[in-house]
Amino acid sequence: MDLQKAIQLRILNLCKERNITINKLATLSGVRQSTINSIINGHSKKVEVLTILRICLGLDMQLNDFFDNEIFKDLDDE
């Protein structure tokens, strides 16, 4: 799995775990819904760390907690 796909899955899993929609995540994080949709749909090829940080802050979690997940353990080197 590549990093982009792992980030997509992590965001979707966090929303599912917290029972929130992408729209609610956008509201909580201050990140535009269109930006989150672009990440989720794979249209955004490079996700900025600042965007992930804002998502983390909106979810009341640390950046290292976002990446401390099995999804990121076996990334492709591409």
Each residue's pLDDT tens digit, 13-31: 999 999 999 999 999 999 9
> Would you say residue 77 has pLDDT above 80?
no
pLDDT surpassing 60 at residue 78: no
Residue type, 72: F
pTM over 0.85: yes
| DSSP classification of residue 2 | -
Could you tell me the CA-to-CA distances from 64 to 46, 57, 68 in Å, in that order?
19, 12, 6
Per-residue model confidence as pLDDT tens digits over 29-73: 999 999 999 999 989 888 999 999 999 999 999 999 999 999 999
pLDDT band, residue 12 (cuts 50/70/90): very high
Tell me how far apart the alpha carbons of residues 6 and 45 are, in angstroms, rounded to a whole number.
12
Provide the Cα torsion 64, 68, 73, 75; round to 10°. -40
Q: Which domains does the chain have, with CATH numbers?
A: 3-71 (1.10.260.40)
